[in-house]
Amino acid sequence: MPVIRPILMALGLDQTWMMFCPTVRDTNYYINSTITFADGSTRLFEPPRLYLYDLMMRVRRQRMNKAFLDAWERPAYSYYWPYIAAYIARCNLDQTNEPILVSLSINWALIPPIEVPASRDNLPAEINHATYFVYKVRPEDLK
C-alpha cells in the first residue's frame, strides 16, 4: 500500500476518516489573506469558494479546498501558518514592490439552527471578521 498510496492521493481516489466531520459545523465561513507591500498598498487574496464554481470544477478542487480550509484557520494546524503566508507572498511577488506583511483572516456567520429552514442562497452573510495571524515576510521567503 505505501507504493500505491501517493498515486491514489494524486488522483483523488484515496479516502481517510478525516473526510467525515465529528460534529456538524455551525459556522459558515471563508478565509482570505491581506498582503501589504513595501509602498503601503494592499491586495486581498482569497482561495476559491467552491459554491461559486460549476459542478465539475467543484469536484476537481474539493480536496485542495478541504486542505486549505482545514490548515488555514484552525489552531491545530498553526504550525503551517508561516508556510502558507510565505507561499502567498511568493505568489504575489512584484520585484519593484515586494510584499512585507501577510495576514491570515477568517470571515464567518453562524448557520441558523436546523429548525429554521435555510438554503445556501439565503444564509446570513459572513460579516464577522478576525485576523488571527500576521507574518512579516523575510527575504528568503521570496526566493
- Give me the chain's average pLDDT, please: 83
74: containing domain: 17-142
Output the CA–CA distances (angstroms, integers) from residue 69 to 47, 74, 76, 85, 86, in the order listed: 9, 8, 12, 14, 17
Residue 31 lies in a domain: yes
Question: pLDDT grade, residue 65 (50/70/90)?
Answer: confident
- Give the lowest-confidence range in 5-14, 25-34, 112-121, 133-142: 5-14
Q: Are strands 42-45 and 99-110 parallel, antiparallel or unpaired?
A: unpaired
The count of structural domains within the chain is 1
Structure confidence at residue 13 (pLDDT): 67
Structure confidence at residue 118 (pLDDT): 76
Structure confidence at residue 19 (pLDDT): 53
Residue 55 lies in a domain: yes
Q: Which amino acid is at 98?
A: E
- Give the lowest-confidence range in 2-6, 7-11, 46-50, 107-111: 7-11
Residue 101 lies in a domain: yes
pTM: 0.73
Grid coordinates 473526510 are at which residue?
19
For the cut 60, the answer to whether the pLDDT of residue 20 exceeds it is no
Residue 4 lies in a domain: no
Residue 2 lies in a domain: no
